[in-house]
Amino acid sequence: MRWRGVAAAWLLLVMLLPNTIGSLSGETGAESARPNILFIIADDWSWPHAGAYGDGVVKTPGFDRLAREGALFTNAYTASPSCTPSRGAVLTGQAVHRLEDGGNLWSSLATKFVVYPDLLEAQGYKVGVTRKGWGPGNAAAGGRQRNPAGDQYDSFDDFLRQTPAGKPFCFWFGSQDPHRPYDKGSGVAAGFDPTRVKVPAFLPDTPEVRSDILDYYFEVERLDREVVGMLRLLESTGQLDRTLVVMTSDNGMPFPRAKATVYDGGTRMPLAMRWPARIRPGRIYDQFVSHTDLAPTFLEAAGLKPLPEMTGRSLWPLLEGRRDGRRDGRRDQIFLERERHANVRRGDLSYPVRAVRTRDYLYIRNLRPDRWPAGDPEMYYAVGPFGDIDDGPSKQLLLSRRDDPLIGRYFQLAMGLRPAEELYDLRKDPGQLQNVAAEPGYAAIKRRLRAELDRWMRETADPRATSDDDRFDRYRYHGPPGP
């Protein structure tokens, strides 16, 4: 395709042309104007579980500081509610359906998909990652010599010690928190009060679920303590105000009807950014932003232009009040998708979904409604029954009490078959529990959102907009069997 050639040519120019921003010696004003970039990405952390969003149980002073001294986003969304494609979208700035097998979990990411750390490294940045970068997957299968997020370091502190003074850096801190498994009862043991938990509408309010949420909170706090430490380290070395710090998550909390779904529990993300040079403190943005917007934002911060194939848009026009000439510059909707998460359907089948989320509605198209959305009821290859849902007390409660009238509804919401179209009226149903797609009074809304989704799929070259040939089912799954 033409854009692949453009991408290759663009990367070649970036690597060969002289640096137009300034000398890399660290001595010029232009060089010092380029920020360091610290990107902090959690593993399975959902909005709104942070103090800055009003959660009264979990304590997140690190995230809250970024929000207080920078920008807080209330409508930030992952590109896909699955680790590997989400992280691929962050790195490439592209919608995940454009990334071939990179649109699946436990995949690869071909070198023809240019990632922002490589572009910044070519412009003199020192690039590194600790713990979970891009993945899980097989970077070598995509022809890469390292993780797409950069060279691996033992810690952020180790990385800073090896970074020459005056050289800008781009670092990816990939925590494994709050990914399962959890130490059962760790939240209660740490002093969390189960009675104060606000149970999401898509989960039953039982002691088991409340305790499970507290175990998740325990790991959110552990993540945040590390963030506090990194901010202090930057402060002690005089680099904090010269660093663009961004903190978010890859996808939603590992609970039924959350992670691996396009409902808000799987896609709506915490996001805060701090860089005093260009971000005014204490600003709250309710415009819709996507993880695909991060790569172009990082490139523009470093004085570079986003690549032509990037479907995301730089956040600087929004942050600085500049006009955005793009058709969707108002940022009043977001597009969501997923392909194969875990390998949990006989035949390695995906569960393809495309969706559009506005302030008032969530429209979902389930492209293969005959398949089990959470995986086959019996384990096929990985994880277990209904394996797109991570195992844990909340899942086990739904499985063991599926015939209980009080629990069965939640079992069906999480694990039952779904119709080809879903539509949720978020003004009346913020928990996204009552599908109104078949109600006559919503016919016009459904037509409009269906057309918007079709437009986006065509304009971003989604293969399911033309051939819909289930190619994502045929890409290799590099993950292990289990359990």
Cis peptide before 481 (omega within 30 of 0): no
Q: What is the pLDDT of residue 23?
A: 30
Rounded to an integer, the average pLDDT of 272-286 is 97
Give the per-residue pLDDT at 322. Answer: 83
pLDDT higher than 80, residue 42: yes
The answer for 347, left when phi > 0, alpha when psi is -120 to 50, beta otherwise, is left
How far is Cα 267 from Cα 79, in angstroms, rounded to an integer? 8
Which domains are delineated in the chain?
Answer: 2-16+35-323 (3.40.720.10), 334-474 (no CATH)
Predicted local confidence at residue 329, as pLDDT:
63
Question: What is the C-alpha to C-alpha distance for residues 70 and 243, in angstroms, rounded to an integer?
Answer: 12
pLDDT value, residue 7: 45
Instruction: Give the rounded percent of residues in the chain with a pLDDT score beyond 70.
Output: 92
Cα-Cα-Cα-Cα dihedral sign, residues 320, 321, 327, 330: positive
| Position 16 confidence tier, pLDDT thresholds 50, 70, 90 | very low
Model pLDDT, residue 189: 98
Beta-bridge mates of residue 336: 355
pLDDT attached to residue 324? 65
Write out pLDDT tens, residues 307-347: 999 999 999 999 999 876 554 467 999 999 999 999 999 99
pLDDT (tens digit per residue) in 375-422: 999 999 999 999 999 999 999 999 999 999 999 999 999 999 999 999
> What pLDDT sits at residue 3?
41
Residue-wise pLDDT for 125-179, tens only, equals 999 999 999 999 999 999 999 999 999 999 999 999 999 999 999 999 999 999 9
Give the global pTM.
0.93
User: Chain-wide mean pLDDT for the chain?
Assistant: 93
**Would the pLDDT of 1 be above 60?**
no
- Is the Cβ–Cβ distance between 410 and 204 less than 8 Å? yes
Which residues are CB-neighbours of 213 under 8 A, at least 6 positions away? 187, 197, 199, 255
Q: What is the pLDDT of residue 399?
A: 98
Q: How many CA atoms lie within 13 A of 283 on its CB side?
A: 16
List, for residues 245-271, the tens digit of each pLDDT value.
Answer: 999 999 999 999 999 999 999 999 999
pLDDT at residue 483, as a whole number: 76
Cα separation, 409 vs 391, whole angstroms: 19
Digit-coded pLDDT (tens) for 338-375: 999 999 999 999 999 999 999 999 999 999 999 999 99
What is the layout of strands, in order, in the sheet containing 421-425? 333-338, 353-358, 361-366, 421-425
Res 323: pLDDT:
73
Given a contact cutoff of 8 angstroms between Cβ atoms, the answer to whether 130 and 152 are in contact is: yes
Give me the mean pLDDT over the 435-446 stretch.
98
